[in-house]
Structure 1
Amino acid sequence: MGTKWSATPWGTALTLVTVLAATAAPAAAHGQAPDRARPTQRIVLTNSDKGPVTASLGDDVEVRLTGYRKDGLNWTWSTPASGDSTALRRTTGRTAPNGDASATFHAEHDGTATITAQRRCRPDPGRLCPLVITPWKVTVEVK
């Protein structure tokens, strides 16, 4: 007497896996246009930018502020922050020993957010800083 194999259970399982894989595949793999008409963009802002800036939903806004050193005084930036984290959520943020600061924000919802940072003086030993804080801000409108 030989062994009798039934292909029905495996055939059904393979059909189910194939259907699930086809359903979960991205539209682009099937020759269809993706849902978004335009790819997301990265907007880069630096010390000299004043704004306003317009970002689309899904875009990233990167802030790169450069500190400097002169005559024994170190001018350092604080980590940039968003005034409305619902519209523009910070995903990264850091300061560096040389005074630089950076942050990346993701455009989450329609709205207007102001990104701010402050530049302060840090003196070398034996030096005095002027009592000056320099603000930096850019308004970003998310549409």
Structure 2
Amino acid sequence: MVGTKWSAAPWGTALALVAVVAAATTPAAAHGQASGRAQRIVLTNSDNGRSVTATLGDDIEVRLTSSHENGLTWSWSTPTSSDSTVLRRTTGATAPSGGASAVLHAEHDGTATVTTQRRCRPDPGHVCPLVITPWKVTVEVK
């Protein structure tokens, strides 16, 4: 090879160098990742009804906040995916305050919806209306 210098490194070091060079030159798709850089798409209360496009390897983060007024707290359930083969939930939780969050990982091409529901929790001496509010975002993974 022209312009290549070799040094008399111990075999262990030489093999480690070969492994590092091979890993650096192997396409990301061969490691189960999409080519390019994975992104984190953050969705909030105001994204209800929206459609978004994600790339393989992206994370969809859902951050929903509760609201409290007139003795009523409107709390969210943990966001879920309609198709875990397309969008796999890696984390999900609700907070005592009524907020909810989740991270969903774009696993395969396809379309999935992320859904949750907002329900009322009354303070003592208050009564909730019989209303459940859905929240939904459609995610197309390409």
| Length-normalised TM-score, structure 2 | 0.82
Displacement of 1:141 after TM fit? 0.5
2:83 alignment partner AA: D
| Max Rg structure | 1
Gaps of 5+ in 2: 1-7, 29-33
Displacement of 1:26 after TM fit? 5.2
Number of the residue aligned with 2:127: 128
Number of the residue aligned with 2:41: 43
Q: Kindly indicate whether residue 102 of structure 2 is the aligned counterpart of residue 103 of structure 1.
A: yes
| Length-normalised TM-score, structure 1 | 0.82
User: CA offsets, 1:56-104, max 9 Å, x none?
Assistant: 0000000011101101101000000000000100011111111110000
Number of aligned residue pairs: give it.
Answer: 129
Number of the residue aligned with 1:115: 114
SS of 1:25's equivalent in the other structure is helix
CA RMSD in angstroms, aligned pairs only? 2.2
Gaps of 5+ in 1: 1-10
**How do 1:23-102 and structure 2 match up within 5 A?**
23-25=18-20, 35=28, 37-49=35-47, 50-102=49-101
Is the CA contact (8 Å cut-off) linking 1:42 and 1:62 kept in structure 2?
Answer: yes
SS of 1:75's equivalent in the other structure is strand
Using the TM superposition, name which of 94-103 and 18-27 deviates more.
18-27
SS of 1:24's equivalent in the other structure is helix
1:20 alignment partner AA: L
- C-alpha distance in structure 1 between counterparts of 2:52 and 2:60, whole Å: 10
- C-alpha distance in structure 2 between counterparts of 1:34 and 1:27, whole Å: 10
Number of the residue aligned with 1:18: 13
- C-alpha distance in structure 2 between counterparts of 1:27 and 1:44, whole Å: 34
Displacement of 1:114 after TM fit? 0.3
Using the TM superposition, name which of 52-61 and 32-41 deviates more.
32-41
- C-alpha distance in structure 2 between counterparts of 1:58 and 1:95, whole Å: 25
